[in-house]
Structure 1
Amino acid sequence: MTAPIRVLICDDQTLIRTGLATIIDAQPDLEVVGECGDGRAAVELAQRLKPDMVVMDVRMPVLDGIEATRLLAGAGVADPVKVLVVTTFNLDEYVYEALRAGASGFLLKDAPPAQLLHGIRTVATGAALLAPEVTRKLVGRYASRIRPTEDTPDNVALTPRELEVLRLIADGQSNSEIAATLVISQETVKTYVSRILTKLDLRDRVQAVVYAYRNGLVT
């Protein structure tokens, strides 16, 4: 049998932690390996327990979820842990910062249990959780705050077609929508997406969207 996905829960509200743990532990393919109430404890527990992923609150004492996410999944982390951010407010600016810090996606705390479980399984596989329309709203709202970096598109070996696909990803289009726009197959789109992530050393589509906005590919 496949080993269950090992989950660490970090939320400063005891009732929220208990509720999440109850929902997650009821699934045969999921296992809660630890709980904590602040970001510092999450980092320490993750280093000790080696979970497959962390369900992370944003606003917490001692160390908030953004900084904890950066320490667990940010650039330069030797053994990054996948992080699913949960928040009370839709499109909260702190969530955007958490995505930049390395989180693989986010959910609202009032999401139904089925959506939570789907999110955990999705992130655990290495995929990004954000739906295309959510990606567009989230990054578009805060794009003006993103400063361009020195790592401009001219410094990477993306082909014109790959740049085109990257722009469409940043615009929030799904693989099927990109395929229709470019009149190519979805398998071809998947190949392009994989090449883009590899060439730019990005983990998932969320990071690809951020990269595109940071480098002025989308306005």
Structure 2
Amino acid sequence: MGSQELEEEELVQMVRDFIESESPSSPSFSSSQGLGTFNQQPNYLTLQEILGSVEDTEDEVHQKILKYLRNKNTAWKTTNLKKWLVMRLRMDGYDASLCRTSWVTTYNCPGGDYEYIDIMMDNDENGGVGRLIIDIDFKSQFELARPTTSYAQLTDTLPCIFVGCETKLNKIISILCTAAKQSLKESGLHVPPWRGTNYMQSKWLSDHCQKVQPIPRISSNNS
């Protein structure tokens, strides 16, 4: 079995564990059970406020994805879970695409590539189009080896499945990258460039984004 297949199996298992552990009454973007007074740190409270501010469209898409993953057993056998989710979203009428970003090495940011989902949404307020970013492997992107207690509290708050606009994502990246730098320094570890804000922003917000050729949108009454 190749490394890509192993990574896909690990992702599938992680998402399955998240689905099984999430209760219907829990907030869509929060995992704040068992909070103590330690969690009153400013970064934590700010992150909670950002994650707790959920637009109707964000919640709608998030609940759709959870429903797909709960009900479609064959999803766990697919060779690419993200492609399957794009197909399912488009069947329900969403303008969804699989996005593959790539960026070159600069003096403060090593090159790399990443893959996630986005949905182009109509924006009634100004007549434009808004963009929702969906990442089913979001939380793990911010994990550190030997994190401080304060940083672990922040990452524990992050959702496994992220659905949100670019502005919200940028705020989360800023908070977590700053906290990661502090955590690494306090642990006596070098701060690698791939933990910097520029690198993390490039994963989801790079100008070099290739969208996979979308499949024809299929209307479906099966949700």
TM-score, L = length of structure 2: 0.30
TM-score, L = length of structure 1: 0.31
Q: Which has the higher contact order (CA 8 A, sep 6+)?
A: 2
